[in-house]
Structure 1
Amino acid sequence: MNEPLAQRLRPKTLADVCGQQHLLAEGQVFRRTIESGRIPNMIFYGPSGTGKTTVARIIAENSGMTLHKLNGTSCGTGDIKAVLKDIGTLAGAGGILLYLDEIQYLNKKQQQSLLECIEDGSVTLIASTTENPYFYIYNALLSRCTVFEFKSLSAADVERGIRNALKKLSESESQPVVMDEDACAYLAESAGGDLRKALGCLDFVVTAAPVDGTGKHITLEMIQQVTRRTAMRYDRDGDDHYDIVSAYQKSMRGSDPNAALHYLARLLEAGDLPSACRRLMVCACEDVGLAYPQIIPIVKAAVDAANMVGLPEARLPLADAVLLVATSPKSNSAHDAINAAIADVQAGRTGPIPRQLQNKHFDGEDAAVKGQNYKYAHDYENHWVDQQYLPDLLKDVKYYTFGDNRAEQAARAYWAKIKGEDKL
Structure 2
Amino acid sequence: MKPLADKVRPNCIEDIVGQDHLLGENGILRNMIKNGYISNMIFFGPPGTGKTTVANIISNKTNKKIYKLNATTASLEDIKEITNEINNLINYNGIILYVDEIQYFNKKQQQYLLDFIEKGKITLIASTTENPYHYIHKAILSRVNIFEFKLLEKNDILKALNRAINIFKKDLSAQIELENGILEYISTISSGDLRKALNILETCIYSCIPNEEGIIRVSYNLVRENFNSCFINIDKGQDYHYNIISAFQKSIRGSDPDAAMHYLARLIEAKDLVSICRRLLVIACEDIGMAYPSAISIVKSCVDSARELGFPEARIPLAQATLVLATAPKSNSTLKAIDLALEDVKTKDIGDIPNHLRDAHYIGASNLGRGIDYKYPHDYKNNYVDQQYLPDSLKDKKYYIAGKNKMEQKINEYQINLRK
Q: TM-score range by the shorter chain?
A: over 0.9
1:84-123 aligned within 5 A: 84-91=83-90, 93-123=92-122
1:344-383 aligned within 5 A: 344-360=344-360, 362=364, 372-383=372-383
- Measure how far apart 1:104 and its partner are: 0.4
Give 2:14's aligned residue: 15
- Equivalent-residue separation in structure 1 for 2:272 and 2:365 (angstroms): 57
- Measure how far apart 1:216 and its partner are: 1.9
Aligned partner of 1:33: which letter?
M
- Equivalent-residue separation in structure 1 for 2:395 and 2:221 (angstroms): 71
The unaligned stretches of length 5 or more in structure 2 are: none
1:209-224 aligned within 5 A: 209-211=208-210, 215-224=215-224
1:41-99 Cα shifts (integer Å, max 9, x gaps)? 00111111111111111111221210000011000111110110111213574210000
Give 2:225's aligned residue: 225
- Equivalent-residue separation in structure 2 for 1:8 and 1:348 (angstroms): 66
1:144-192 Cα shifts (integer Å, max 9, x gaps)? 1011110111111111111111111111111122333411111111111
Q: Give the conservation status (yes or no) of the 8 Å contact 2:357–2:371.
A: no
The unaligned stretches of length 5 or more in structure 1 are: none
Question: CA 1:371 to 1:64, structure 2 compared with 1: closer, same or farther past 3 Å?
Answer: closer
Give 2:338's aligned residue: 338
1:174-219 Cα shifts (integer Å, max 9, x gaps)? 1122333411111111111100111111111011135467932223
Q: Aligned with 1:397: secondary structure?
A: coil
Give 1:271's aligned residue: 271
TM-score w.r.t. the length of structure 1 is 0.94
Give 1:391's aligned residue: 391
- Equivalent-residue separation in structure 2 for 1:143 and 1:101 (angstroms): 19
Q: Aligned with 1:113: secondary structure?
A: helix
Question: CA 1:92 to 1:331, structure 2 compared with 1: closer, same or farther past 3 Å?
Answer: farther
Question: CA 1:168 to 1:329, structure 2 compared with 1: closer, same or farther past 3 Å?
Answer: same
Q: Give the conservation status (yes or no) of the 8 Å contact 2:378–2:384.
A: yes
Aligned partner of 2:289: which letter?
G
| In the alignment, structure 1 residue 322 sits paired with structure 2 residue 325 | no
Q: Aligned with 2:181: secondary structure?
A: helix
- Number of positions where the alignment pairs a residue of Structure 1 with one of Structure 2: 417
Q: Give the conservation status (yes or no) of the 8 Å contact 2:49–2:150.
A: yes
- Equivalent-residue separation in structure 2 for 1:92 and 1:382 (angstroms): 93
- Measure how far apart 1:248 and its partner are: 1.0
Question: CA 1:386 to 1:171, structure 2 compared with 1: closer, same or farther past 3 Å?
Answer: same
Question: CA 1:304 to 1:363, structure 2 compared with 1: closer, same or farther past 3 Å?
Answer: closer
Single out whichever of 307-316 and 250-259 deviates more from structure 2. Answer: 250-259
Q: Give the conservation status (yes or no) of the 8 Å contact 2:94–2:122.
A: yes
- Equivalent-residue separation in structure 2 for 1:302 and 1:89 (angstroms): 68
1:277-334 Cα shifts (integer Å, max 9, x gaps)? 1111111111111111111111101100000010001011111111111111111110
Q: Give the conservation status (yes or no) of the 8 Å contact 1:334–1:400.
A: yes
- Equivalent-residue separation in structure 2 for 1:331 and 1:254 (angstroms): 11
Aligned partner of 2:140: which letter?
L
| In the alignment, structure 1 residue 243 sits paired with structure 2 residue 243 | yes
Give 1:191's aligned residue: 190
- Equivalent-residue separation in structure 2 for 1:410 and 1:211 (angstroms): 76
| In the alignment, structure 1 residue 175 sits paired with structure 2 residue 184 | no
- Equivalent-residue separation in structure 2 for 1:255 and 1:214 (angstroms): 58
Question: CA 1:214 to 1:386, structure 2 compared with 1: closer, same or farther past 3 Å?
Answer: farther
- Equivalent-residue separation in structure 1 for 2:372 and 2:214 (angstroms): 96
Q: Give the conservation status (yes or no) of the 8 Å contact 2:284–2:296.
A: yes
Question: CA 1:178 to 1:214, structure 2 compared with 1: closer, same or farther past 3 Å?
Answer: farther
Give 2:297's aligned residue: 297
1:131-146 aligned within 5 A: 131-146=130-145
| In the alignment, structure 1 residue 79 sits paired with structure 2 residue 75 | no
Aligned partner of 2:279: which letter?
R
- Equivalent-residue separation in structure 2 for 1:237 and 1:101 (angstroms): 21
Q: Give the conservation status (yes or no) of the 8 Å contact 1:288–1:328.
A: yes
Q: Aligned with 1:398: secondary structure?
A: coil
Q: Give the conservation status (yes or no) of the 8 Å contact 1:192–1:232.
A: yes
TM-score w.r.t. the length of structure 2 is 0.95
Aligned partner of 1:194: which letter?
D
Q: Give the conservation status (yes or no) of the 8 Å contact 1:268–1:315.
A: yes
Q: Aligned with 1:67: secondary structure?
A: strand
Give 2:287's aligned residue: 287
- Measure how far apart 1:406 and its partner are: 1.0
Give 2:3's aligned residue: 4
Aligned partner of 1:330: which letter?
K
- Measure how far apart 1:28 and its partner are: 1.9
- Equivalent-residue separation in structure 1 for 2:366 and 2:419 (angstroms): 34
The CA RMSD over aligned residues, in Å, is 1.8
Aligned partner of 2:9: which letter?
R
- Equivalent-residue separation in structure 2 for 1:93 and 1:208 (angstroms): 46
Q: Give the conservation status (yes or no) of the 8 Å contact 1:349–1:394.
A: no
1:374-410 Cα shifts (integer Å, max 9, x gaps)? 1111111111111111111111111111111111111
Give 2:50's aligned residue: 51
- Measure how far apart 1:4 and its partner are: 2.0
